[in-house]
Amino acid sequence: QVQLVESGGGSVQAGGSLRLSCRASTYTYSRYCFGWFRQAPGKEREGVAYIHGGGGSAVYPDSVKGRFTLSQDKSKNTLYLQINNLKPEDTAMYYCAAMGPTYAGACSRARPTKYNYWGQGTQVTVSS
């Protein structure tokens, strides 16, 4: 079982930055994949960053590469998603999710439906 709690969303102007946090309550943090996903009204949920709790580099889709940075503090079971140069099209509900236990290679390959634990989401709104 993994419980996830996100924080850090808000309303910002285009060009601004936000840092989202996700605290994972689990004794086996290092065995899980973690992902950040976002969903805008009328659109499908899309993954924007992935990392394995055991370590290694984060993976990003091309759509956010260079602006999104995912990091983790394993001592706190907490993930951080830094978003820079925010654009109006980044407006969405952002969710932290976990999948596993599983190996690192699965993190970015899995569809959102394979992630079996989800946080409540945090809203990001970007105005032009």
- pLDDT tens digits for range 79-113: 999 999 999 999 999 999 999 999 999 999 889 99
Distance CA 22, CA 29 (A): 12
Token digits for 6? 């996100």
What is the torsion angle, in degrees rounded to the nearest 10, for the CA atoms of residue 114, residue 117, residue 123 and residue 128? -30
- pLDDT tens digits for range 15-74: 999 999 999 999 999 999 999 999 999 999 999 999 999 999 999 999 999 999 999 999
Neighbouring C-beta atoms of residue 68, cutoff 10 Å: 20
119's CB contacts (< 8 A; 6+ apart) are: 4, 5, 6, 22, 95, 96, 97
Q: What is the pLDDT of residue 56?
A: 92
Q: What is the pLDDT of residue 79?
A: 98
